[in-house]
Amino acid sequence: MEAIIVAGGLGTRLRPLTVTTPKHLLPVAGTALVAHQLAKLAEAGVARVVLATSYHADQFEPELGDGRTWGVELSYVTERELLGTGGAIRNAAAHLESAADDPVVILNGDILSGHSLEAQLRHHETASADVTLHLVEVPDARAYGCVPTHDGRVTAFLEKSPDPVSRQINAGCYVFRRSVVDDIPAGRVVSVERETFPCLVAAGALVLGHLDQRYWIDVGTPAALCRASADVVRGVAHSAAFRGVPGEAFVAPDATLAAGASAYGGSSLGAGVTVAAMAVVDGSVVASGATIGEGALVVDSVVGPGAKVGAGVVLREAVIGDQAVVGDGCELVAGARVWPGHQLAPGAVRFSPDV
């Protein structure tokens, strides 16, 4: 069985982390986000995966190799121009070996899900469906397009609305009949959500919704990245790609947590990270090679590769880009972001009146 992972997006909501790195390679519990998807596919019996890349495409293969680490055969295809979700899928189809009636799994590359892909595949094959979508039900669907169904059959794909008719939303994992992939127009921008799926429904194709309420998150913002990583570290979300033991923190084998320092709340400390004495890291992602200074407090924040956070710094819901320097005594809160390579002088930024 084969799969395509759509991994060409720019990740603008995750900047400055994605200025230098595609969002699909950002660390989640010490492992690239997309690696969790590769491991999930392998668990479901997928043998070959085509990774559809575009933005910073040259970084994927050095990081992921041939896929054997996660139990799949991995190949790469690059869009020279962004083609949308449907266009990316069609562009990758040339690398598939499946027959026309075979199932092909399609994943959005920024999703972390605990749903049963095996059950979704059985649902699809038992019904001889053209497409089967993983759906989740959310408390408030106004921020999403909704996907109403009748007796399991998708009846419409509706844009965001102040009064959605359903709380079911598209969860970004599909099983396609291979021939349906080949019917997507080639060489142009195509959205599966706005064009492919609505056209299939209008034409009477069998498009099914597979509702599964297990763990699901769209890893599209720094807050979501922290949450997803913490959930994997703590064992709230299962991933076969996680190399640690579920608990309060993941600390890479060559990371250093000094005496008196602490990491908890599902924090992840990547390779070569150094956390100095009396520093606290809570619910945060600290990427490889970063340094956290003495007495610093890092809460619900992301610290990029090679960044330096000085002594006594306070970070709350902050994002520090690659190789950036936050000088001693700075206080960055409520979504503050420092771009890669920039330096803040000691005490230069404060969000409280004390000195």
Cβ pair 3, 41 in contact under 8 A: yes
Which residue, of 197, 218, 239, is where some domain finishes?
218
314 and 190 within one domain: no
Q: Which whole number is the average pLDDT over 269-292?
A: 97
Rg (CA), the chain: 21
DSSP-based three-state secondary structure for 158: strand
pTM score, whole prediction? 0.92
Question: In the predicted model, is pLDDT for residue 269 greater than 90?
Answer: yes
63 and 164 within one domain: yes
150 and 252 within one domain: no
Q: Which whole number is the average pLDDT over 297-322?
A: 97
CA nearest neighbour of 219 among 47, 20, 35, 42:
35
User: In this predicted model, what pLDDT tens digit does every residue of 219-256 receive, in sequence order?
Assistant: 999 999 999 999 999 999 999 999 889 999 999 999 99
Give domain status of residue 73, yes or no: yes
Among the ranges given (80-94, 110-124, 304-318), the one the predictor scored with the smallest mean pLDDT: 80-94
67 and 172 within one domain: yes
262 and 189 within one domain: no
Would you state the structure tokens that stand for residue 214, as one six-digit string? 């297990």
Check the CA dihedral 33-35-39-42 and report its sign. positive
213 and 278 within one domain: no
Task: Report the pLDDT value the prediction gives residue 166, as an integer from 0 to 100.
Answer: 86
Give domain status of residue 61, yes or no: yes
Domain range for 305 is: 248-344
* In the chain, % of residues over pLDDT 90: 78
- Give the count of domains, the chain: 2
Give domain status of residue 228, yes or no: no
Give domain status of residue 258, yes or no: yes
196 and 252 within one domain: no
Which residue, of 218, 234, 264, is where some domain finishes?
218
What CA–CA distances, in Å, run from 232 to 25, 236, 277?
Answer: 16, 6, 26
Burial class (CB in 10 A: 0-12, 13-18, 19+), 177: buried
Question: In the predicted model, is pLDDT for residue 354 greater than 70?
Answer: no
Question: In the predicted model, is pLDDT for residue 8 greater than 90?
Answer: no
